[in-house]
């Protein structure tokens, strides 16, 4: 037994419902541009990292290697000596530099230690003179990567 109010309520609910929308058109897969992949082909050799350094002759599968992985380098380029290599893929590099004291018009010797990622393809050991370059943070304390093993003179 339907009353007048029931029919009014039914009419209101029908009017409140939104109009059906059209389905989105399908885009063919060939029309969608593909994102560039981060893989580097091993046949082409080490990739160019943007600065003039001698690339390593060995190859590696380290993803944080600037030559064989996907790690971009940017910013500062520093030189130092490897102090310890006891950690996995990380070395401590000591950099010695001179700082001028304005008051006395003299220089003082200062040093800093950096935790640096060492790719296995470079073969870095204690006592080696290395060139390091800034990169994105790889861990809490590691924001540099070794890019070249310098020749001893």
Enter the CATH code of domain 49-153: 2.40.50.1000
H-assigned helices in the chain? 4-16
Q: What is the pLDDT of residues 54-106, one digit of tens each?
A: 888 888 888 898 888 888 889 999 999 999 999 999 999 999 999 999 999 99
Looking at the predicted structure, is the pLDDT value of residue 1 above 80?
A: no
- pTM here is 0.67
Question: Which comes out higher in pLDDT, residue 59 or 33?
Answer: 59
Q: What is the pLDDT of residues 102-137, one digit of tens each?
A: 999 999 999 999 999 999 988 899 999 999 999 999
Q: Is 31 exposed, middle or buried (0-12, 13-18, 19+ CB in 10 A)?
A: exposed
Residue-level pLDDT at 41 = 47
pLDDT-derived band at 40 (thresholds 50, 70, 90) equals very low
Query: For residue 94, what is the enclosing H or E element?
Result: strand 90-101
């Amino acid at each position: 037994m339907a009353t007048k109010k029931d029919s009014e309520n039914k009419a209101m609910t029908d009017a409140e419902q939104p109009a059906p929308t059209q389905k989105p058109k399908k885009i063919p897969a060939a029309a969608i541009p593909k994102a560039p992949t981060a893989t580097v082909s091993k046949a082409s050799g080490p990739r160019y990292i943007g600065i003039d350094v001698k690339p390593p002759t060995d190859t590696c599968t380290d993803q944080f290697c600037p030559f064989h992985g996907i790690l971009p380098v940017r910013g500062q380029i520093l030189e130092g000596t490897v102090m310890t290599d006891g950690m996995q893929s990380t070395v401590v590099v000591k950099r010695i530099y001179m700082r001028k004291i304005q008051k006395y018009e003299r220089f003082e010797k200062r040093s800093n230690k950096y935790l640096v990622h060492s790719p296995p393809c470079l073969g870095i050991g204690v006592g080696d003179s290395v060139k390091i370059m800034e990169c994105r943070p790889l861990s809490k304390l590691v924001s540099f990567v070794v890019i070249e093993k310098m020749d001893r003179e």
